[in-house]
Amino acid sequence: MTGQAPLKIAYLCDESPLNRQFYSGGNTRIYDSLRRHGAEVTVLNTGWHMAEPLRRLVKRLPMALEMRARWRLHLLLSRLISRGVRAELANGRYDVLFGTYAFHAMSHVTPPYPMVTAFTSDAMPTPYKRSEIGESFGSFFKPARLLDNWMLRQETRVINGIDLALWPSDWLRDSANRFYGMDPKKSFTVPWGANVADPGADTAPPILTEGGPLKFLLIGRDWFAKGGPMVAETVRLLRARGIDARLTVIGCHPPQDHLSDAITVLGLLDKSVPDQLAQFDAALRGAHFIMQPSFESYGFAFCEASAYGLPSLCLRVGGVPVWDGVNGHALPMGSGPVEFADLAASYVSRPDAYETLRRTSRQEYETRLNWDAWATRTLELLAERVAQLRR
């Protein structure tokens, strides 16, 4: 943005980016990085305007129902809700309407004057449901499947109505292009960053040697969804081979019958609390691999691992930001504890290869998996579209 007037961005989501608790903190990271790189960002009202009383009623539902009902109902009422968004836009003079996560918040929004419309998210309903990820979790409310074709039509209408779609992974970009028939000239991959501040390059990384410990890390609030049982079995297999494998778990508590002397549970850590942040930091600096054979549409944990120079072990599913031999390994679907154990053990006997993998993991963070890189590329694309609009 050097030498140019700062872009004026109207920021639209169904939750405020000022609240770090929503969307795993990603919404806040997007907002902060746009502002840090010089954009003037105004957060639009997250309410439903004339339909706000109904939104408040939905908010009182149990969380599992509220999450699913809120965005579907938003779509149904979007012609009414969008009038309030349009009125907000008319009160200012913006270059860009930038939507995050909530595609339904963009539904039927027609700017009152020429501006670029853009959107970013790490997941969309139809690509998610019709992938290995959605199939692995099933449907919370099976009759909702009757709405699948209607939902696809709504997604197609909204996404094709925007000027610029920015996806964090090639997988989601290609899925959007396929399901929605998007013009590839409007659909780009711009990787998201880590949900932690840059920890800096590690000057004393853990050494991996034969006879020494092999330390794994798992981060997540759901032991089963993050592939915990497979990780625990991998550790058991390695120990049976005489390798001192150990596992540290952050964010959840495995069932008692999954625990062993080789597993340390730190539980949920609040990174806004200095002592707990220090525990988180020490765990990532001390591990040899983060292992999460989970079903992810993206996965901030893998970006965070790369920030620490920590290689990731996962499954090749969705848009996980892990590239074989660069910042870890994503094994084919169907791989299990034996394959993961074989891979990890192969590095024990090749410490030089492991050191290289740590180095390239950090390089991947420095070049792609950070929010400064995201903001730089995003603002370049937005500025190009704004310039085209003004010609």
Domains 8-193+370-390 and 213-367 share a fold: yes
On average, the pLDDT of the chain sits at 94
Ranges of each domain in the chain = 8-193+370-390, 213-367
Q: Strand, helix or coil at 45?
A: coil
pLDDT at 148: 87
Q: What is the rounded average pLDDT of the residues 351-362?
A: 97
CB 192 within 8 A of CB 122: yes
Asked whether the CA dihedral 161, 164, 170, 174 is positive or negative, the reply is: positive
Q: What is the rounded average pLDDT of the residues 360-382?
A: 98
pLDDT at 96 over 80: yes
- Other C-beta atoms closer than 10 Å to the C-beta of 6 total 14
Q: What is the pLDDT of residues 320-340, one digit of tens each?
A: 999 999 999 999 999 999 999
Q: What is the pLDDT of residues 219-256, one digit of tens each?
A: 999 999 999 999 999 999 999 999 999 999 999 999 99
CB 120 within 8 A of CB 30: yes
pLDDT at 138: 59
Instruction: Confirm whether pTM is higher than 0.95.
Output: no
Q: What is the pLDDT of residues 138-148, one digit of tens each?
A: 555 555 566 88
Q: What is the pLDDT of residues 111-139, one digit of tens each?
A: 999 999 999 999 999 998 888 887 766 55
pLDDT at 203: 84
pLDDT at 304: 95
At the top level of CATH, the class of 213-367 is alpha beta
Alpha-carbon gap, residue 172 to 12, rounded angstroms: 21
Alpha-carbon gap, residue 100 to 122, rounded angstroms: 9
Topology of domain 8-193+370-390, CATH: Rossmann fold (3.40.50)
What is the percent of the chain with per-residue pLDDT over 70, rounded to a whole number?
Answer: 96
pLDDT at 4 over 90: no
Alpha-carbon gap, residue 115 to 390, rounded angstroms: 9
| pLDDT band with cut points at 50, 70 and 90 for residue 272 | confident
